[in-house]
Amino acid sequence: MMELYLNNSWIIALILNSILLVFAFIVPKKLLTPLGYFNAWILGVIVWATLSWQGYAVVMFYFLVGSGVTKIGMAEKEAAGIAEKRSGVRGPENVWGSALIATFCALGTLFVDAPWTQLLILGYVASFSTKLSDTTASEVGKAYGKRTFLITTLKPVSPGTEGAISLEGTLAGIVASAIIALVGYLVGLINLIGIFYCIIAAFIATNLESVIGATLQENLEWMTNEIVNIINTLIGAIVAILLGWLVINFITI
């Protein structure tokens, strides 16, 4: 039965994502580059086949909201030279920078049993919660942050500086992490306390990402934004999984 279910899941995933790919190329408004759409197709197939529509709902929510968030204050950010490249249209590097860790969590559920299945699903939701928090904090901070500070020194810096934080961006990031975690709860991927794990994990990871940006990214040529995003989402997933694991073991004891 499990083998039949997996086969059917992959077939449905291939058909559904192929239809959506064709639709994406037809509509005039593009959110991704052509290669970006192809890589998103791969991501969508894996997510649907492993976590069904519930996991798909989370990644689609992130994709749509994250793309929308990058448009916030676009004119002002472009004028200041701190807007996302291609006016926010994402490429394959953005797809995997945001979703590589979530993909590993989703695939991992095929090879483990409870409670690790549930913990990997928690990590899946937490990674997207972290990434949306980071994206929202950055974009809102650049567009509406009244005062931005370097996280390592708290000295005032210009919006868009690597490692810069703002009150407006930080609060927006917390709200964003809570919203996507709530989506994960509403579709049945995580329980109610899992929402708080995701919020905590996203807050820790987003701030550590700012520290990395302020200390390492400027000095290491290979540490691109996409690499930092992978590290960021990895931290978020690990923190959430550790929180869940500790609670499970505490309750068991």
Tell me the mean pLDDT per 10 residues along the chain, length 253. Answer: 61 93 83 89 96 96 89 63 60 93 97 94 98 93 86 86 89 97 98 97 95 84 89 98 91 55
Q: pTM of the predicted model, to two decimals? A: 0.90
Q: Which residue has the tokens 């996203």?
A: 202
Q: What number of other Cβ atoms are within 10 A of residue 187's Cβ? A: 18
Domain parsing of the chain, residue ranges: 2-252
Strands 164-166 and 148-150: antiparallel
Tell me how far apart the terminal alpha carbons of the chain are, to the nearest angstrom.
35
| pLDDT at residue number 249 | 84
Q: Could you give the C-alpha distances from 90 to 29, 52, 227, in angstroms and in order?
A: 13, 24, 15
| pLDDT at residue number 240 | 98
Amino acid type, 63 = F
Q: What is the CA radius of gyration of the chain?
A: 18
| pLDDT at residue number 253 | 46
Q: What number of other Cβ atoms are within 10 A of residue 70's Cβ? A: 21
| pLDDT at residue number 86 | 53
Among 185, 176, 204, smallest CA distance to 168 is for: 176
CA–CA separation, 183 and 58 (whole Å): 7
| pLDDT at residue number 187 | 98
Q: Which residue has the tokens 């059917």?
A: 8
| pLDDT at residue number 2 | 45
| pLDDT at residue number 9 | 87
Q: What number of other Cβ atoms are within 10 A of residue 18's Cβ? A: 13
